[in-house]
Chain A
């Protein structure tokens, strides 16, 4: 049952929120030990929340568009009084004194929060193997990674643990795991969804978005979480349209560009390429005008990203110093205490990125690394702007391959290369999403990526709905 169907049933008293929750919790009991999607299952709280929703419905109240919908949150969303770990030892046991704006909006819409999901530590990774609490397994093949960094959230929806889940996407952390787990994943326009309460990885790239089993649920989720937030300076003060309204209008006459550089990229596996071309053909069949597009600067995206994101991260993660919250390892002086706490609290990938970022910002290197990467960002934006003069949306693969096996990308650079198709949209701030489109030669899900100009989520979702229909 989709989130839209659940909410409709709960609002019309056809189903109770508690009953819906129990179904999902039963699946959690069944498979969670095997999958490890969650850092925390909030069974008691969720049951109390669901019962409260049912009481409201019974008393004639409308709890909102997500009434009784079980939702899972990536464990880097601040939840008041509930541990928020970022899958890091350094934050183990930390309970924020406040809720993220998105969490407030979900609750206000009637959602029932079932738990906090696993991630690569501080969202740094593409497989959830970097979690301090052990990896999440792909529900389609537990010998494979679910992708990352929002692997727990993707797996939760794929395994039916929750109807919806939410994650953050800094370089592909929603779209790539969505592709690997066979669900829909959306990274909205930067600034469309408030980041207040999302534990920062790279501030100018981070964006919150949903994982869903249908495109309609993605549209519904975005309607709930989008919109201006005075607590986030970078939040866009534009009204939120109804994303569901135009979802079924089809793609007749829609101009779709196939990003040449994505298809030419080395490392793109042939089965993923085939499925992506089939997706393009399906759109053409449905009346879209499909042509080749070019965004040549996107080939520099990966390099620029791995300078900008670590630089911002090195600063964002300085606050984990053992003074105010989280892990402290005692020492004779505060400076030594800082060092010992950070050394014990951060995993290898986080340390690697902190050092890379510190280096990129340090005296004598700023212009060559961070400064230059920000200029490359402009080139990528210009390429996209030019492409969108001719096209309504762009199309390409989400990830170079289907889900890989645990340990397959032990070399950091090999892992980073996984994000090559998702990163350009983070650098440009434009919306992009992954839609399941068939399977690879190994039988595992393939995701196709739809990219759109800023704030054009409606068109992006329309095209995604057409792909969903074609894949069915």
Chain B
């Protein structure tokens, strides 16, 4: 598949819908809850009963603006509009959304890899209800009838539309993960893709390398996880390239991701072009946030993942794009890492532990001083990497002093002469393997190292062992 895409560029823009973490719906006082008995969180407003009127939830506005600020958007005076179309999960047969005057425009999001993705807009709108298709297979086309639950109707959403700045499935996945981290950090949404409180649609097109013009795009829906997003993009890009190379062309359309089949499927062809007849919602009035409201929101903004990466990178003296830095922030271990570095821990080893050895419950509770001390013991050669890992596990579990733990476990640094003699013994006992290694078979060294580890009961430092074997080989060749 990657080969087939040689010479082609994938262009991706994402539309992400997130449910805002309010107590109540966007336009009424019904609770914003997931998983309740059908049609129990409904009222005249969210059922669209004749005569009912919407009143905007101020918390939803605050959260949307908070997100806009986190995405470096300009917060603008905005107007709600009606998007008119018939669908049974939509009680009024129009959706209240923002159209030409959205609340947040022109922002950006910096990915951990360093790439900057433009944000076209992040606007407020209401969610629809939920249809359940009853019939043999539970699928829409085979349904005998459908049942409608309006508990979700009117839940506040923010729709975040990126610019087509993403260039690969990995980019897209990274973007969604980073956006999710921002949503969680700001408390704007619980962003659960599996519960549908975060939903991602991908606009995918392809063009030949160097082409300036964008290709015709397809919008892929029904993506239920970050993983399916990646798979769907790869599938769809290959499909489009195949079409074009076969002399065909891509038709602008909506396509649905079929997780089981691992492919996208064409949406039902539409009898006529969409005509949503947008017009300003006359039951609501314009939003023009006062400067002090905006300042209050900005002042209560928690540190964002990108700020946290920058701070940790600076403390560790590495680039913010370093993998360990991104992992530390995404696991919420950046405070621990910075504190450990502060307490004279070895930055590189701190980041290594956070990246590889602390993906466990309770990791954040590790004493920074203990982590710092642990890394100093490694630097001093008092502990091997393997031993340090064991001590760290104990620190997570029960806390304590790394030195005492190491002693209790019988971890003592081998002095160099003891190690050298152990190595001599192993070479002598495995002359054939040694010969292969000397002859240039690099893989043979792992068998030898294994023997050394066995002989030293794991106290030897793997790196040191390796270095000694290399030294000996060079010497024997010389």
Residues in chain A within 8 A of chain B (CB atoms): 76-78, 84, 86, 91, 94, 96-98, 100, 195-200, 202-204, 230-234, 311-312, 314-315, 318-319, 321, 323-325, 334-335, 338, 358, 361-363, 366, 370
A233, B56: Cβ atoms closer than 8 Å: yes
B50, A200: Cβ atoms closer than 8 Å: yes
B91, A78: Cβ atoms closer than 8 Å: no
The residue from B88, B277, B284, B285 contacting A334, defined by CB atoms under 8 A apart:
B88
Q: If the complex has contacts A233-B284, A323-B148, are A97 and B49 also in contact, measured as CB distance less than 8 A?
A: yes
The residue from B273, B277, B285 contacting A233, defined by CB atoms under 8 A apart:
B285
The residue from B48, B53, B92 contacting A232, defined by CB atoms under 8 A apart:
B53
Please tell me if B44 contacts chain A, counting CB pairs below 8 Å: yes
B285, A196: Cβ atoms closer than 8 Å: no
Tell me which residues across on chain B come within 8 A of A202, comparing CB atoms. 282
A98, B279: Cβ atoms closer than 8 Å: no
In the assembled complex, the Cα of A84 lies from the Cα of B44 at a distance in Å of: 14
The residue from A78, A321, A361 contacting B50, defined by CB atoms under 8 A apart:
A78
Tell me which residues across on chain A come within 8 A of B49, comparing CB atoms. 78, 96-98, 324-325
Q: If the complex has contacts A321-B86, A334-B88, A361-B279, are A199 and B94 also in contact, measured as CB distance less than 8 A?
A: no
Please tell me if B52 contacts chain A, counting CB pairs below 8 Å: yes
In the assembled complex, the Cα of A100 lies from the Cα of B50 at a distance in Å of: 10
Distance in Å: Cβ of A313 to nearest Cβ of chain B: 11
Q: Mark B45-84, 1 if CB is under 8 A from A, else 0.
A: 0011111111110000000000000000000000000101
Tell me which residues across on chain B come within 8 A of A97, comparing CB atoms. 44, 49
Q: If the complex has contacts A234-B285, A361-B277, are A196 and B53 also in contact, measured as CB distance less than 8 A?
A: yes
B92, A318: Cβ atoms closer than 8 Å: yes
In the assembled complex, the Cα of A202 lies from the Cα of B94 at a distance in Å of: 15
B50, A203: Cβ atoms closer than 8 Å: no
Tell me which residues across on chain A come within 8 A of B148, comparing CB atoms. 323
In the assembled complex, the Cα of A14 lies from the Cα of B302 at a distance in Å of: 69
Residues in chain B within 8 A of chain A (CB atoms): 44, 47-56, 82, 84, 86, 88, 91-94, 146, 148, 273, 275, 277-279, 282-285
The residue from A91, A233, A323, A335 contacting B55, defined by CB atoms under 8 A apart:
A233
A84, B86: Cβ atoms closer than 8 Å: no
In the assembled complex, the Cα of A77 lies from the Cα of B51 at a distance in Å of: 8
In the assembled complex, the Cα of A248 lies from the Cα of B240 at a distance in Å of: 80
29 of the cross-chain contacts (CB-CB < 8 Å) are A78-B44, A78-B50, A78-B51, A84-B51, A96-B50, A196-B51, A197-B51, A198-B51, A200-B283, A204-B282, A230-B55, A231-B55, A232-B53, A233-B54, A234-B282, A234-B283, A312-B279, A312-B282, A315-B277, A321-B88, A323-B148, A324-B47, A324-B49, A324-B91, A334-B146, A338-B86, A361-B84, A361-B277, A366-B278
**Residue in chain A with minimal CB distance to B277:** A361
In the assembled complex, the Cα of A96 lies from the Cα of B52 at a distance in Å of: 10
B282, A203: Cβ atoms closer than 8 Å: yes
| A-B residue pairs, 6 tightest by C-beta | A318-B93, A361-B277, A203-B282, A204-B282, A78-B51, A199-B50
Tell me which residues across on chain A come within 8 A of B277, comparing CB atoms. 314-315, 358, 361-363, 366
The residue from B48, B84, B91, B279 contacting A370, defined by CB atoms under 8 A apart:
B279
Distance in Å: Cβ of B402 to nearest Cβ of chain A: 61
Tell me which residues across on chain A come within 8 A of B82, comparing CB atoms. 315
The residue from B51, B54, B273 contacting A96, defined by CB atoms under 8 A apart:
B51
**Residue in chain B with minimal CB distance to A205:** B282
In the assembled complex, the Cα of A196 lies from the Cα of B43 at a distance in Å of: 13
In the assembled complex, the Cα of A338 lies from the Cα of B44 at a distance in Å of: 21
In the assembled complex, the Cα of A96 lies from the Cα of B43 at a distance in Å of: 11
Distance in Å: Cβ of A149 to nearest Cβ of chain B: 16
Tell me which residues across on chain B come within 8 A of A318, comparing CB atoms. 84, 86, 92-94
Tell me which residues across on chain A come within 8 A of B56, comparing CB atoms. 233
In the assembled complex, the Cα of A203 lies from the Cα of B50 at a distance in Å of: 12
Interface centre among B51, B54, B56, B284 (most CB of A within 10 A): B51
* 19 more A-B residue pairs beyond the given contacts A315-B94, A334-B146, with a C-beta to C-beta distance below 8 A: A76-B51, A78-B44, A78-B49, A78-B50, A78-B51, A96-B51, A97-B44, A195-B53, A196-B53, A197-B52, A200-B51, A203-B283, A204-B282, A314-B277, A315-B84, A318-B93, A319-B93, A325-B49, A338-B86
In the assembled complex, the Cα of A196 lies from the Cα of B44 at a distance in Å of: 10
Q: If the complex has contacts A97-B44, A199-B51, are A319 and B91 also in contact, measured as CB distance less than 8 A?
A: yes
Tell me which residues across on chain B come within 8 A of A198, comparing CB atoms. 51
Tell me which residues across on chain A come within 8 A of B93, comparing CB atoms. 318-319, 321
Q: If the complex has contacts A203-B283, A318-B86, A334-B88, are A100 and B51 also in contact, measured as CB distance less than 8 A?
A: yes
**Residue in chain A with minimal CB distance to B86:** A338
B51, A231: Cβ atoms closer than 8 Å: no
In the assembled complex, the Cα of A239 lies from the Cα of B120 at a distance in Å of: 43
In the assembled complex, the Cα of A196 lies from the Cα of B55 at a distance in Å of: 11
Tell me which residues across on chain B come within 8 A of A363, comparing CB atoms. 273, 275, 277
Tell me which residues across on chain B come within 8 A of A78, comparing CB atoms. 44, 49-51
B279, A319: Cβ atoms closer than 8 Å: no
In the assembled complex, the Cα of A98 lies from the Cα of B47 at a distance in Å of: 12
The residue from A86, A196, A230, A366 contacting B279, defined by CB atoms under 8 A apart:
A366
Tell me which residues across on chain A come within 8 A of B48, comparing CB atoms. 319, 324
B279, A96: Cβ atoms closer than 8 Å: no
Tell me which residues across on chain A come within 8 A of B86, comparing CB atoms. 318, 321, 335, 338
Tell me which residues across on chain A come within 8 A of B94, comparing CB atoms. 315, 318
Distance in Å: Cβ of A42 to nearest Cβ of chain B: 18
Tell me which residues across on chain B come within 8 A of A231, comparing CB atoms. 53, 55
**Residue in chain A with minimal CB distance to B47:** A324
Distance in Å: Cβ of A236 to nearest Cβ of chain B: 11
Distance in Å: Cβ of A79 to nearest Cβ of chain B: 10
A311, B279: Cβ atoms closer than 8 Å: yes
In the assembled complex, the Cα of A323 lies from the Cα of B153 at a distance in Å of: 14
Distance in Å: Cβ of B61 to nearest Cβ of chain A: 13
B91, A98: Cβ atoms closer than 8 Å: no
In the assembled complex, the Cα of A86 lies from the Cα of B283 at a distance in Å of: 20
Tell me which residues across on chain B come within 8 A of A86, comparing CB atoms. 50
Interface centre among B54, B93, B273 (most CB of A within 10 A): B93
In the assembled complex, the Cα of A460 lies from the Cα of B422 at a distance in Å of: 108
Interface centre among B48, B52, B54, B275 (most CB of A within 10 A): B52
Distance in Å: Cβ of B52 to nearest Cβ of chain A: 7
Distance in Å: Cβ of B79 to nearest Cβ of chain A: 12
**Residue in chain B with minimal CB distance to A358:** B277
In the assembled complex, the Cα of A233 lies from the Cα of B79 at a distance in Å of: 14
**Residue in chain A with minimal CB distance to B276:** A363
Distance in Å: Cβ of B410 to nearest Cβ of chain A: 72
Distance in Å: Cβ of A141 to nearest Cβ of chain B: 33
In the assembled complex, the Cα of A363 lies from the Cα of B88 at a distance in Å of: 23
Tell me which residues across on chain A come within 8 A of B84, comparing CB atoms. 314-315, 318, 361
In the assembled complex, the Cα of A96 lies from the Cα of B48 at a distance in Å of: 12
In the assembled complex, the Cα of A441 lies from the Cα of B278 at a distance in Å of: 48
Distance in Å: Cβ of A189 to nearest Cβ of chain B: 15
Distance in Å: Cβ of B220 to nearest Cβ of chain A: 24
In the assembled complex, the Cα of A200 lies from the Cα of B50 at a distance in Å of: 7
A233, B88: Cβ atoms closer than 8 Å: no
In the assembled complex, the Cα of A86 lies from the Cα of B48 at a distance in Å of: 16
In the assembled complex, the Cα of A86 lies from the Cα of B49 at a distance in Å of: 13
In the assembled complex, the Cα of A390 lies from the Cα of B265 at a distance in Å of: 68
In the assembled complex, the Cα of A412 lies from the Cα of B253 at a distance in Å of: 42
Distance in Å: Cβ of A371 to nearest Cβ of chain B: 9
Tell me which residues across on chain A come within 8 A of B53, comparing CB atoms. 195-196, 231-233
In the assembled complex, the Cα of A319 lies from the Cα of B47 at a distance in Å of: 10
Tell me which residues across on chain A come within 8 A of B91, comparing CB atoms. 319, 324
Distance in Å: Cβ of B122 to nearest Cβ of chain A: 23
In the assembled complex, the Cα of A338 lies from the Cα of B54 at a distance in Å of: 24
In the assembled complex, the Cα of A233 lies from the Cα of B55 at a distance in Å of: 6
In the assembled complex, the Cα of A97 lies from the Cα of B282 at a distance in Å of: 24
In the assembled complex, the Cα of A201 lies from the Cα of B91 at a distance in Å of: 17
Tell me which residues across on chain B come within 8 A of A319, comparing CB atoms. 48, 50, 91-93
**Residue in chain B with minimal CB distance to A342:** B86
Tell me which residues across on chain B come within 8 A of A311, comparing CB atoms. 279
